Chains A and B, each alone.
Chain A
Amino acid sequence: MDDYGIIIKKMSFCYVKDNYIFKNMDLAIKKGESVGIVGANGVGKSTLLRLIVGLEAGYEGHISVSGIDVTKKSLPMVRKKAGYVFQDADSQMFLSHVEDNVAFGPSNYGMEQEEISACVKKALCETGIEHLKKRSVYQLSGGEKKLASIACVLALNPDIIMFDEPSVTLDPKNRRKLIHVLGRLDKTKLIASHDLDFILDTCDRTILLSRNGVISDGKSRDILLDKGLMEGSGLELPLSVLGR
């Protein structure tokens, strides 16, 4: 079991009683894997990520992250192992300066000042935005903001990092930059998105969700390029394929 980052067994969850979004779901993600989670709007991509980091409580069944069961008590440990990049970067960065936002996590976990500075520096370096360190969040462009919010999560040096719709609101140039940054990250990655080209560029494995749970799980190429499968679940083939 040691080589698994995330294990989900017989998990069920609903926001409204008896209106299940997941029913007896099973899923296992190995350490170091890059996994895309795709599906039409409202199938529960975000909910799945939020369950894994304990932002939604009250699931039935079993979820564990890096060998730790996700319960109310274990949340601080779980959240140190698994980071979550919010869809909207403004929520992730609530302090005025980039540097303070990135340092927020490490300072909560009681690190010394030098240690915090080292974490901040490393996170900014990994996302390639050292030059934005002193900038105010209000003065950042959309792409810079996204990278900065990723740096906030990286500062805690998690084993697993999850992204909710990372490419939405980015222009093509920033999108390419983000793909490049993600490619260099040596971590277990979970990316929820309906930008299929983005998943194709960043993930080896793809999980296709529908109202009835996981309907397909396998190599990104096999799933994303399967016209029948994609259209059956309300998605379109990646543009890069259509263009050819």
Chain B
Amino acid sequence: MNRFDNMLGEMCSIDREASKEGWLNEMHPLVKLLVTIWYICFVISFKNNMLTGILSMSVYLIICFLMADISLYKCLKRMRTVLFAFFIIGGANILFSENFSTGVTGAAGFWCKGVMSVFAVYILIVTTSIDDICEALRMLHVPGLLVTVIMLIYRYINILIKETKRLSESYFVLSPGQKGIHIKAWGQFAGNLMLRSIDRAKRVYDSMNMAGYEWRILSGNRKKYKLGAGSLMWLFVWTGVIAVFRIIPVFELVGNMLAG
């Protein structure tokens, strides 16, 4: 049950970091969102075997981590589940390729692409609150309903974790000495969990509407951000640099130059 407390605490602290003051936190959310999407698209567009090219893209990550003072340790810890999944899928790559060495390069390329995309997303969420990300999506003319759904899913995760916690606590109270939830109870457990979560989510949605949420969506009444010079520069510099690194094999050129 401690696991749930940890998860809650972790989400909580991510949110707190996002609302912290700092130059990357205060940057226009739309700019951060665009740079992140741009970055991930370019990273993914590399073929799996273009390892040096892929690695050269880490420049963006390194600079963000250093300049915004983001902890790499915390990032690895929080994202460990996703990273592990990438590791497994990448490993499968080796098994299914004809030649072992191309398989390994492919897996490494895939793994780097995955890890780097995850890191880029992490930089976004650790410096931007979910509300700001949603505002940015709306500025990109993503339909209001879709944005609401995204926001609700984010809130649902909270609710789901809490409800799972409550339900499993009551389960363990009634079945002392058991390590996990007995497989026979799983179906009912899941069904019950779903019903409870829907019920809770509905109440949360009611209370959001009591505070004028629906009305804001309908009237388009949104918080105003100023697109400052700093934000614009961040946008242009990074879209430029990322594109250049994608098109020109910068690492190889530098390497060749150093090698004479």
Contacts and interface: CB of A to CB of B under 8 A. Distances in A.
Contacts of A138: 8-9, 12
A110 interface: yes
A244 to B, nearest CB: 39
Interface stretch (A87-95, A125-133, A178-186, A195-203): A87-95
A97 interface: yes
Contacts of A107: 223
Contacts of A94: 155, 158-159, 204, 207-208
A96 B157 CA distance: 13
A30 to B, nearest CB: 23
Interface residues of A, number: 29
Contact of A108 (B15, B155, B158, B221): B221
B58 interface: no
Contact of A97 (B8, B16, B155, B219): B16
Given A86-B203, A94-B158, A97-B19, A136 B213 contact: no
B221 A110 contact: yes
Interface in A61-104: 75-76, 79-80, 83-84, 86, 88, 90-92, 94-97, 100, 104
Please classify the interface of chain B as helix (H, G, I), strand (E, B), loop, or mixed, using the class held by over half of its residues. Answer: helix
Interface of A: 53, 55, 75-76, 79-80, 83-84, 86, 88, 90-92, 94-97, 100, 104-105, 107-110, 136, 138, 152-153, 156
Interface of B: 8-9, 11-12, 15-16, 19, 155, 158-159, 162, 200, 203-204, 206-216, 219, 221, 223
Instruction: Please name the 10 residue pairs, one residue from A and one from B, whose CB atoms are nearest each other, closest first.
Output: A108-B212, A105-B211, A91-B203, A76-B215, A110-B221, A108-B216, A96-B15, A92-B207, A94-B204, A96-B12
23 contacts: A53-B210, A75-B209, A75-B214, A76-B212, A79-B210, A86-B207, A88-B203, A90-B200, A91-B203, A91-B204, A91-B207, A94-B158, A94-B208, A96-B12, A104-B211, A104-B213, A105-B211, A108-B212, A110-B216, A110-B221, A136-B16, A138-B12, A156-B212
